[in-house]
Chain A
Amino acid sequence: MKYLFASLFFVIELMCATAFAHKPSDSYLTITGGEEYLTIEWDIALKDLEFLIGLDENQNGEITWGEVKARRKAVTAHALSRLQISHRGYDCQLKLLDVLATRHSDGGYVVLSLSTDCPGDAAELTIHYNLLFDVDPTHRGLVHYTNGEIDSTYVLSPESPLLELKTGEVNRWNSFVAYVEEGIWHIWIGYDHILFLLTLLIPAVLIRRDHQWQPVESFRPAWTSVLKIVTMFTIAHSLTLWLAVMEYVTLPGWIVEAAIAFSIIVTALNNLFPVLHLSGWAIAFGFGLIHGFGFANVLIDLGLSSVSLGIALLGFNVGVELGQLAIVAVFLPLAYLMRSTTFYRWAILRCGSILVAVIAAIWMYERIFNATIVGL
């Protein structure tokens, strides 16, 4: 019987199988540019250093600051033998300036503050990192390059220990592109923005005469009208996007969402009963202000602290405009071709607007009462 139970010890342990308390081992390498020379701060976990070179001199299970200081030479020698940074083929000389302490989520870290003789504005750096990789294949080196407005993070692993770091514009460009893509994505998935825009654009190929909708005579007035609407919508939402992201004005999410739905209802109703006596561009401007808050909530949730605000705002906005242009590019030619048909004036303008108003009313109800009716 004893034999049978011998291995059951593992059962208890197995129950904790899904309990990951921390993360595996990481080190944090922060490279700062912008001054005359690059400077580096390197956070290495004390538990890892204990494993690598031994820190707990008196073997009491506690690593004190005194013990770290006593092993400072060995720590630095080991760490520096595992890191090479070069600039245009020249190996930067890394020198220890200071040893400090810090904490990350999984415990105490030593901070090696290093000076280099590589220029602070180096445009291309090659980083070869192999701390701990031979004794812990799950270890990662997290490189963070920062230089004024530029901020970028990279992960180094045993599979890719080498990093060609292009500082400067490339990263700024990458950030910008990432935000542009986010902007496009948001328009693409944000049905309410698409619907609002389309509702506004439907009458753009028509003209109101004697209480009747007539088709415009040429492409030019249709195109001018669309251009005005899109431009005004853009100016308005850019304005509030900026105000909200800078935290000059903040509104609760559900109010914004409900107001966006309301803006669609009003726009659709105005297509049916043009009582507002406002041209499309004025409506676009007024309600564009509300839609800007909606965009801002998305952008804020994307995490803005990570990148220069200017790049994020511009990139996201450009993305939103590109998304809008794509919609216009599809809509306008079709609408223009169909403008004289009864189908366009009845099915699209009237029935379409009624349908839009109904959908938006449901959204508004859902957003105010936090209920689900159609699940959109």
Chain B
Amino acid sequence: MKRQYISFAFRLLSCFVIAGSIGESPASAADAYLPASDDEVLETLPSTLLSSRSELSSLRRKLADNPRDVNTAASVASLYMQMGSQEGDPRYFGYAQAALEPWWEVNNPPAAILRLRAKLKEKDHQYDRALDDLKTFLEHEPQDIQAWIEVSNIYRVQGKYDKSQQACDRLGEFAGDVVANVGLVPLLISTGQAEKADKLLADMLPIIKRESPETLEWVLTEQAEAARALGRDEQAERHYKEGLANNPANLYLLRACADFLLDQNRTAEVLPLLEEHTTDNGVLLLAAIAARRTGKKKVSRDFQTQLENRFEEIRLRGSEPHGRFESRCALELQDDAQKALTLALDNWEKQKEMNDTRNVLAAAIAANDPQAAQPVVRFLKQNGNQDVDLQELVEQLEEME
């Protein structure tokens, strides 16, 4: 408890730092230097930016002439949002937000704007606000598939499984089962019905292959997740590998697969998988953990410093780093179980996905504080969660009491 207070005090002070009375020199900047040659590459631009460069520049010119043109603004915003998602670089979400600026504070903007605004708010983890926008949007377009899937997904991330289920039901009413399953599958995996999810996915697979091959990656990811939750390790591994063969740069899959290998104690395989993608904070975190567990002290310290610098730069601008990553960093790299527990619990208030839950359980075990994880354990039981990795932690916690 005392440590918790102290860590609270640290956070208080970090508020001071942000409020602007005292501060480190601008975060982690390396010293300014004079590049040795004109050919030195200082930055690589996202490939999406290159492929849509001419389209973007003509759209941006058009938007500059008429900033209140709904269609142009929506096109510019969605192009930048795609870029942001693919690159994992939020600055492009900022550019997208700028295109929507005339409608950003408006109560009932045109539907096309609402949809994008909801997405941007969701990206910023403002889930309730995103839901408000999506609901307004669905009043205009009650049969929009994507909007219903997003509603279902946000509710699931928040752990409001009933509401998530309701959204799937609404979707099924007009869009048919296969589409409704897209919302349903992840929900089933979170609520102890991974077996059913697995079966649905197997049924969907041939249809998806034929009708919507771009969705295949999603199917493979969910198949892997369902198999992992069921403890079918070989099957999970096969799906992870298939998914990564399909798209080796899928960050979600990379992180999930790395987590899986870490759990299997196959640590040596993790670094080669992640090494090229450490611009992503989640990947960087897992790479640091893998390096540490394989005894590569220097590499691990390097990665850890990079990660901590990123957190610090985020704080410096007055935001908070993602609690999921920060908590795990505290637990596995900084060896500060109390801090990890506090961060994990804070984060769990907002998000209740598998990794968020797992962070709380693991931190509570390490901090020797099974009481702290009680609400989370209760939540898992209430929702019939049967994820083998989570159950193992729950059992450990119960033995401690």
Interface residues of A (CB under 8 A from B): 1-2, 4-5, 7-26, 28, 30, 41, 43, 45-48, 50-51, 56, 59, 61-66, 68-69, 100-111, 113, 134-140, 142, 144, 146, 151-155, 157, 171, 174-175, 177-178, 182, 185-186, 189-192, 298, 301-303, 305-307, 370-372, 375-376
Contacts and interface: CB of A to CB of B under 8 A. Distances in A.
A178 B2 contact: no
A241 B29 CA distance: 30
B218 interface: yes
B124 to A, nearest CB: 8
A107 B43 contact: yes
Given A4-B145, A140-B317, A14 B21 contact: no
A316 B354 CA distance: 41
Contacts of A298: 6, 9
A1 B145 CA distance: 12
Given A5-B211, A65-B40, A102-B33, A18 B351 contact: yes
Nearest to B9: A185
B59 interface: no
A202 B20 CA distance: 42
Interface in B67-99: 82, 85, 87-91, 93-95, 97-98
A372 B279 CA distance: 39
A137 B104 contact: yes
Contacts of A19: 88, 251-252, 255, 280-282
A88 B8 CA distance: 40
Interface in B4-34: 5-6, 8-10, 12-14, 16-18, 20-34
B304 interface: no
Contacts of A51: 95
Contacts of B98: 134-137
A182 B39 contact: no
Interface string B265-284: 00000000000000111100
Contacts of A50: 43, 45, 49
Contacts, number: 303
B160 to A, nearest CB: 16
Contact of B101 (A9, A137, A152, A376): A137
Select the residue from B44, B93, B157 with max chain A CB neighbours within 10 A.
Answer: B44
A68 B35 CA distance: 11
B252 to A, nearest CB: 5
B176 interface: yes
A30 B32 CA distance: 12
Interface of B: 1-2, 5-6, 8-10, 12-14, 16-18, 20-35, 37-45, 47, 49-50, 53, 82, 85, 87-91, 93-95, 97-98, 101, 104, 122-123, 125, 144-146, 149-150, 153, 157, 175-176, 178-179, 182, 207-208, 211-212, 214-215, 217-218, 221, 251-252, 255, 279-282, 306, 309-310, 313-314, 316-319, 322, 324, 351, 353, 368-369, 371
- B interface SS class: helix
Given A12-B218, A185-B12, A189-B5, A2 B280 contact: no
A108 B130 CA distance: 32
A291 B111 CA distance: 63
Contacts of A66: 38-39
Contacts of B40: 64-65, 101
B88 A21 contact: yes
What 9 A-B pairs come out closest when comparing CB atoms? A153-B23, A21-B88, A66-B38, A5-B212, A138-B94, A136-B94, A108-B43, A108-B42, A174-B21
B280 A178 contact: no
Given A19-B88, A62-B45, A138-B90, 15 more contacts: A12-B214, A24-B319, A30-B26, A43-B26, A47-B43, A62-B43, A104-B29, A138-B93, A142-B317, A144-B23, A153-B20, A171-B21, A189-B8, A371-B368, A372-B368
B66 to A, nearest CB: 16
5 contacts: A11-B146, A12-B217, A17-B122, A21-B89, A26-B316
Contacts of A12: 214-215, 217-218, 221
B88 to A, nearest CB: 3
A152 B22 contact: yes
Contacts of A1: 207, 211
A302 B101 CA distance: 39
A305 B22 CA distance: 10
Given A135-B98, A151-B23, A152-B22, A190 B29 contact: no
A150 to B, nearest CB: 10
Given A4-B179, A64-B41, A69-B38, A182 B29 contact: no
Contacts of B93: 24, 138
B336 to A, nearest CB: 10
